[in-house]
Each structure stands twice: as structure tokens, then as C-alpha cells.
Amino acid sequence: MAQSASRFNVNTRFSNWWYNQKNKIIKNIRIQDFLAKFPITSRIARKEGEAIFQLMTGFVDTQILFTFVQSGALKLLEDNPMSVEELSRKIGLDLKGAEILCRAGCALGLVRFKSQRVFLARRGVLILSLPGMAELIDHHSILYEDLSDPISLFRGEKETQLSKFWPYVFGQADSLSSSDVSKYSDLMSKSQFMVARDTIGCIKINKNAKWLDVGGGSGAFANELVRKHPTVKVSIFDVPGANEAENGPHKFISGSFFTDKIPTGFDTVSCIRVLYDHDDQTVSSLLAKIHSSLPEGGRIIVSEPMLGEFSPNKWGDTYFATYTYAMKTGTTRSPSQVSDFLYKSGFKKVKIFPSRRPFVTTVIEAHKN
């Protein structure tokens, strides 16, 4: 035992020594100049320099995108290309400002220049064509406001705007007006199109399934599910005002999983972008309620963006983790962390599906038996 501890101390000392030596080498300006000139290492040096510059300028990129969407410039270019001068008049910008904006948009792949005119590029077309994308870009002005003082945010001192925008995560559904709930549900519905498609494309679906979508809002996921599988009977369980469809393809059951039991009579329950809105205690309670509501052999589907499983990634660990932290109750989790919650709630046969687009969602399935 003593020998093992001694060997551990030696390895730790060597690791610390090498860590310090490596950093000294990297910080040395002469060595940096040599690496930048040496053919084998110059590409690595340039790549690291570009990456650091991108870290510094990333916020500028998001604001250029935001300006293109909020000013209506992308929409105006959808049907007809324009000169910079014509576009500047239509969106109410100074000509010089519009020129800088368009050149920046060209560098970001939003637009392109040809014969002194501005055309919508493929990336710009995709932003306009994907349901909810423009609304999400506009919505992120709230997150940008919270990040204006990031030190206070990460210290937990800041009262965030996102926590005010999503008050239902505190279980305050009773205090919300129907118009407020409708506003939140509308944004979720419009932004859930890709999540719904990727989720449905991952899993096997019984054509006679009786399906309950918990927190399904206005029915973006439910509608896509019925469109793909018309014989599936789908119901949505959510707070009052979240769904106004009277003759839609799904049934709406009013209630809150904070205070009410999960409706029974369903063999499949889905939580689409629900768990990461809530803290661990709420997630444990919700999954336990879902497990109790399901019959033997029933299953649960969880689909939402997640942290990197083996190493941090840009979408889960950078974007969604920061977003849910700013919400004050949310927590972005890794697939294995979500799986642990499912196992602890009594579920078995947990399966993590290979993600088509992990920046959109990761899908997990588990069974009760």
C-alpha cells in the first residue's frame, strides 16, 4: 500500500513538472516564432491563432446575424437581390453601416456579392426556411443581456432575464396569464421542428401506440408524430393555456407535473426538451411519476441537447449549459447522467441512440419492466 502511494506521488510530481515545462515552452515567444515558420508546425500555429481570434470575435458574429434577422434584411433578400444602397434604405441603416453589415454577412456565409448586388447565400436561405430559427435568433437578445456581465452571472449574483422569461420552470404556472403561457409555448413550438424530426427518426414507433407527451406545449412534437404515424393516439399534458387546439390531431390534458399525477392509460411517455429545464430534484420527481403512470412494458423517450459524454462540446457544454444556468433552475446533463436518473427512477433497458445532429438533440429510451 505504501509503495503504491509512493508511486502515485512520483507520477504526480512528474506530471506537474511536465505540465509546467510544456506551458513554458508554449509561452516562449521565440519558440512561437519558430513554430510559425517551420512547415510542419506552422499550420497548427495558424489554426490556434485563428481559433483564439474567433473566441474574441464570436459575439460580433452573433450580433451581425441578429441584425440581419431583426432588421428584416434576410427576409427582404429572400425573393430579390438588391444593391447595398437599396437594402440600406429599406432597413433604415446608414449606407456605410449597411456596407459593413453586408460584407460581414458575406464573410459569415449569410449573403454573397455578385455584380455589385447582395444575394441571399445558402446559409441565409436555411435560416429563413427552418421553422422557428428566426424567432430563436431574435429571442437570444435576452441571453445576450444576461451575458453582458458574465462574472456576475457565473457567480450566481445576477437576476437574469431568462429566469423571468421562463417562469414556469419554478412551478409558477398558476401565476401566469394564458397569454404569457401561449407566448412561451409558441416559441417552443416553432423551435422544436428539428428536435421532433430527429427524435422520431431515431426510435421505433408502434403504429398502435398510446402516447403522452409531457410538457408538449402547443403540440409541435405531437403534430409531427401524427404526421409521420397517423395511427398513433397522442395526448399532451401541460399547464393551462399551453395548447389551444380544439380539433387537432392530439388531445390536450391540462395539468402540472409539479402538483398533479401523470395521466395513465398510455404505453409511451415522452419528455421533449423538458428535463434540462429543471433541477435534479424536479427531474427525479417527474421521472418517478412517469414510471408509476406507465404499465409494465411501457417506455419513456427523453430527447434534448446534452453535454459531451467523453469530453466537453461546444453546443452542450458551452451554449446549452450556459443558457440553462441563466434560467436559474435548468441543468444540461450528459447522456450517462440522464441514464442514471432513469435507472434510479426504476426504468430498465436504457438505450442512448447515436445522435444525427447532437447540436439539436440526443435521444434516450428506457422501459418499465
- Residue-level pLDDT at 246: 61
- Residue-level pLDDT at 48: 77
User: What pTM was estimated for this model as a whole?
Assistant: 0.81
Q: What is the CATH number of the domain that holds 118?
A: 1.10.10.10
Q: Letter for the amino acid at 235?
A: S
Q: Say if residue 274 is in the same domain as residue 362.
A: yes
Between the two ends of the chain, the Cα-to-Cα distance in Å is 44
Q: What is the CATH number of the domain that holds 238?
A: 3.40.50.150
How many domains are there within the chain?
3
Q: Say if residue 20 is in the same domain as residue 64.
A: no
- The C-alpha cell at 261 is 399525477
Q: What is the mean pLDDT of each run of 10 residues along the chain (369 residues)?
A: 53 70 68 66 75 86 94 93 96 95 96 92 92 83 90 91 71 52 61 88 94 90 93 91 67 91 96 94 96 97 95 92 90 96 97 90 95
Q: Which of 325, 309, 318 is nearest to 277 (CA)?
A: 325
Farthest CA pair distance, the chain = 79
Helix (H, G, I), strand (E, B) or coil at 303: strand
Q: Say if residue 16 is in the same domain as residue 46.
A: no
Q: Say if residue 108 is in the same domain as residue 208.
A: no
Q: Say if residue 256 is in the same domain as residue 155.
A: yes
Q: Letter for the amino acid at 112?
A: R
- The C-alpha cell at 128 is 429563413
Q: How far apart are CA 338 and CA 366, in angstroms?
A: 11
For residue 95, being part of any structural domain is answered with yes
Q: How far apart are CA 176 and CA 130, in angstroms?
A: 29
End-of-domain residue from the set 62, 93, 128: 128
Domain that holds residue 48: 38-128
Q: Which of 329, 322, 336 is nearest to 143 (CA)?
A: 322
For residue 133, being part of any structural domain is answered with no
Q: Do the Cβ atoms of 367 and 301 come closer than 8 Å?
A: no
Q: Say if residue 207 is in the same domain as residue 346.
A: yes
For residue 58, being part of any structural domain is answered with yes
For residue 139, being part of any structural domain is answered with no
Q: Say if residue 57 is in the same domain as residue 77.
A: yes
For residue 141, being part of any structural domain is answered with no
For residue 138, being part of any structural domain is answered with no
Q: Say if residue 95 is in the same domain as residue 221.
A: no
Q: Say if residue 30 is in the same domain as residue 42.
A: no
Q: Say if residue 75 is in the same domain as residue 189.
A: no
Q: Say if residue 168 is in the same domain as residue 307.
A: yes
Q: Say if residue 232 is in the same domain as residue 96.
A: no
Q: Which of 345, 342, 362, 329 is nearest to 165 (CA)?
A: 329
